[in-house]
Structure formats: C-alpha cells, structure tokens
Structure 1
Amino acid sequence: MTLRIVVADDHQLVREGLRALLARDAGLDIVGLAADGAAAVRLVRQLKPQLLITDIAMPGLNGLEATRRAVAHEPATRVICLSMHDDQRSVVTAMQAGASGYVLKDASCDELHTAVREVAAGRIYLSPGLVGGLVDEIRERLRPESTQTGPVLTAREREIVQLFAEDLSTQEIADRLKVSAKTVATHRENVTHKLGVHGIAGMTRYAIREGLTVVVASCR
C-alpha cells in the first residue's frame, strides 16, 4: 500500500531534497509540498495524507501549530516533526501538539526512512539520544511539587504571538489574518495579560522559549 505524504519546510532546497530522498522508496508518494504551516494544514485538509512531515520553525504559522491543526482536522494523519533542537521541552511540546515522531535535522537518510515506517505503523519514533531526556522530562512533570500549569493561549493567540515575535506590525498582522487591527490589538492585550508580560519584547521572549519562533525581533 502506497503511503501518501505531505512535506512542509520553508526552505525550497530542503523540501525538494526531502521529496527526492523519500521518492527513492516506491511505497512512498509525496503528494504535496508546503512552504509554511498554513499551507501544510490546507494540504492536509485537501489531500488527507497518511503522513505529514513538517519542520518546526517556519514563519507565519510554525510547525507545532500546524501539527495541532492538522491532527485536529484529520486525526488519521500522523505527523513527524523535523527540528535542529534536541532539548526535552521541544520534544515534549511536539508530542503534546500531536506529533508521533521527532527527527533531528542531522539524522541520516536511513533514520528518516525508519521514522516514516515506524510512525506509519502506528508507533512513536524519536531520534536516538532523545529518549533519555524525554523520560527525565516526564518524571519531572509527574513530581507532585512540579508546577506545569501555565497560561493557556488559544490557537489564534499563539499565532499572533508568533507574528509579533517575527516583527510584524499590528496592521501587517491584521492584513495577514484578514481581521481588523482592533481585533489584533485586543488579542495582544489578552495575551500580555495571560502571560503577565509587558509589550512585544515580553511576548517575543515567550515565543522563543516555547518554540513558537526562532526569530529574534527588534522591540517596538
């Protein structure tokens, strides 16, 4: 049975490279390529692939948010996240978003094929070396005194935090999301209140810490 795959990465060379690499396997069919998270979600909804392979750090709509939305719309689509980050927080966040696999970008071609086969078979795959750290993170979260409850942002609020962190203005964000500038300003006020931060600098620090963006913006 042919496995239908959508690949998402904001770098064209990476997208094309992944397509060429995966296409060597006759059982894999790359049915769509996306340059950002929003396009990835659209392709998942349209094409209903069995697998989405997505970079985590993408502008506009990052891979974590794309994973959340793709899985929400198409629960049968499984997701492998690609990342250069090997810290436990990034892995746990990806798993919480709905990913079934987490592969580091310095992985070999053979490892990527292994990840695809494992995730397609309904199993979880993590790059070697990540499992120990993930176990430590789970143990920490299970400690009775551990405080893991933080502010809960809506999908739109997370999106707006990312866009502000990427140095877009209120009007630019409004134009991108096709809403009014007043709506964006209201979301911004709600976010700063929830996070207990002041201004875009505080939101940017939160976005970087939570893996919503890797872009360090200038502070307005």
Structure 2
Amino acid sequence: MATPHSDLITVVVADDQSVIRAGIAAVLDAEPDLSVVGQASDGRSALRLVAQLRPAVAVLDIRMPGLDGVAAAAAITARHPDTRAVMLTTFGLDEYVYAALRAGASGFMLKDAEPEYLASAVRVVAAGGAMLDPGVTHRLLDRFAAAPGPAEAALLQCLTRRETQVLVQVARGLSNAEIAAVLHISTATVKDHVAMILGKLGVRDRVQATIAAYEGGLIRPGLA
C-alpha cells in the first residue's frame, strides 16, 4: 500500500472476495497518482473506512454480504459527499446497477475491465466526472429506464430549448467537444450549459443527468 501524499488520489476498495479485492487494490496502487488507503470485505466496513479515511474515491462491489454496494454507495454519497463511488460488477446488466446509479454512484465498471481503464475511471470520478463502462451503457439504460413519469417530465420543463438539446447529446454519451461540433457552438458554451443543466435538475454529474433524461422521456430506451 502506497504512502498517501496530498497530490495522490486516495482510494478505498471493497469486495467480499479477498483475491479480487487484493487484485483491484494492487492494480490501482501500482499507478503513480493513486493510493489505496484501505480495503474492506463488506459494505459496513467500507462505510467505516470512508468515515475514517475520507478517500477521494470508494470502489465498491455491488454484491456484498450484509450491507451491499448499492446501500453503501447511497450512505457514502449522503454522509461523505466529497467521496465519489465507483461500482464494480461481474455482469454488465446486474439488476442492481440502475439502483446504484440512482443512489449517487458516479461510475460503473465491469470487473474484467482492462487495468488502465479502471484506473482511468477512478481519475475521472475523482475529478468530478462520471464514467460508465462503454460496453454496457446503452444496454443498461434500455433495460432499466422506466416509462416517463409526470414528475420527471415536469422537471425537464425548467430547461431552455438549448439546454434540452445539450442534455440530449449528454445522454447519448458525447463529450463537450463533440456536443459543440454537433450544435455548432463553442466548447465553453457547452460547458456552461452542462453546469446549468446539472444545477436545474439538482444532479451531481452527467450520469445522473442522463438518468433524468431517460426517466423524463427526453430519450427513449433504444433510440439514443
């Protein structure tokens, strides 16, 4: 375990399988800018470590005994908003993934992802971004996006026409630069619109905004 410094991204890893937990920790700790400061075998232990160590990122297995990863992510994001949660699962369409994202998780990765991709996800999430495994993003939304609800649809009405156009592209997974090219506006303008969208919808990142777009019927599953 690396000795943490102020310029390192600190991480807590939680997985009930010791071999997998140790492997994930080793992969992350080998990165020069990442430091695994604690390991937990279940959700409750993860909560205690996060409260004690205040890491930048908590990497949580979704399925753990006692307090599972979904409940742990919800508790962490509520009690320790400076700690971001990245969820890990063996299955791309785990039945708990959508619930985890709704609970406030900022990332969702498969356990068999390439080591450098997992490390990249931790960096993106630590910087305030969001990251979903690209191989399952649309399939996940296709399976779990509910029919538009009146409350969610009404919430989207607070957006301007341009903000709605930007949100559609965010929900399709485009970067700010790609959105700027599609809408023929500057990247800085896109960034400003995204900030306004997050504020108006009361969400913390692009993943949560995408969920709001699906739940409000702005994007239909399978048509993104």
For 1:121-132, what aligned pairs fall within 5 Å after superposition? Answer: 121-132=127-138
**What CA distance in whole angstroms lies between the structure 2 residues aligned with 1:13 and 1:87?**
23
2:66 is aligned with 1:60: yes
Q: Which of 112, 115, 118 in structure 2 is aligned with 1:109? A: 115
Q: Which of 33, 42, 55 in structure 2 is aligned with 1:27? A: 33
Q: Which of 98, 114, 124 in structure 2 is aligned with 1:118? A: 124
In 1, are the aligned partners of 2:87 and 2:105 still within 8 Å (CA)?
A: yes
Shift of 1:136: 3.1
Shift of 1:79: 0.4
Report SS of the residue matched to 1:4. strand
Partner of 1:69: 75
CA pair 135-63 structure 1, distance change in 2 beyond 3 A? closer
**CA RMSD of superposed structures (Å):** 2.0
Shift of 1:109: 0.8
In 1, are the aligned partners of 2:9 and 2:123 still within 8 Å (CA)?
A: no
2:33 is aligned with 1:38: no
> Normalised by the size of structure 1, how large is the TM-score?
0.61
- Letter of the structure 2 residue corresponding to residue 80 of structure 1: V
CA pair 18-139 structure 1, distance change in 2 beyond 3 A? closer
What are the superposed Cα offsets for residues 65-117 of structure 1, whole Å, 9 maximum, x if unpaired? 11111111101100000001222753321111110000011211121012112
- Letter of the structure 2 residue corresponding to residue 30 of structure 1: V
CA pair 90-141 structure 1, distance change in 2 beyond 3 A? farther
- Letter of the structure 1 residue corresponding to residue 81 of structure 2: P
What are the superposed Cα offsets for residues 136-164 of structure 1, whole Å, 9 maximum, x if unpaired? 357643266xxxxxxxxxxxxxxxxxxxx
Q: Which runs of 5+ in 1 are unaligned?
A: 145-220
2:86 is aligned with 1:80: yes
- Letter of the structure 2 residue corresponding to residue 112 of structure 1: L
- Letter of the structure 2 residue corresponding to residue 21 of structure 1: V
- Letter of the structure 2 residue corresponding to residue 94 of structure 1: A
**What CA distance in whole angstroms lies between the structure 1 residues aligned with 2:94 and 2:43?**
22
State the number of aligned residues: 145
Report SS of the residue matched to 1:33. strand
> Normalised by the size of structure 2, how large is the TM-score?
0.60
**What CA distance in whole angstroms lies between the structure 2 residues aligned with 1:119 and 1:48?**
15
CA pair 62-27 structure 1, distance change in 2 beyond 3 A? same
**What CA distance in whole angstroms lies between the structure 2 residues aligned with 1:136 and 1:119?**
24
In 2, are the aligned partners of 1:10 and 1:35 still within 8 Å (CA)?
A: yes
- Letter of the structure 2 residue corresponding to residue 6 of structure 1: V
CA pair 141-122 structure 1, distance change in 2 beyond 3 A? farther
2:45 is aligned with 1:5: no
CA pair 82-14 structure 1, distance change in 2 beyond 3 A? same
Identity %: 42
CA pair 21-88 structure 1, distance change in 2 beyond 3 A? closer
- Letter of the structure 1 residue corresponding to residue 116 of structure 2: D
**What CA distance in whole angstroms lies between the structure 1 residues aligned with 2:106 and 2:79?**
16
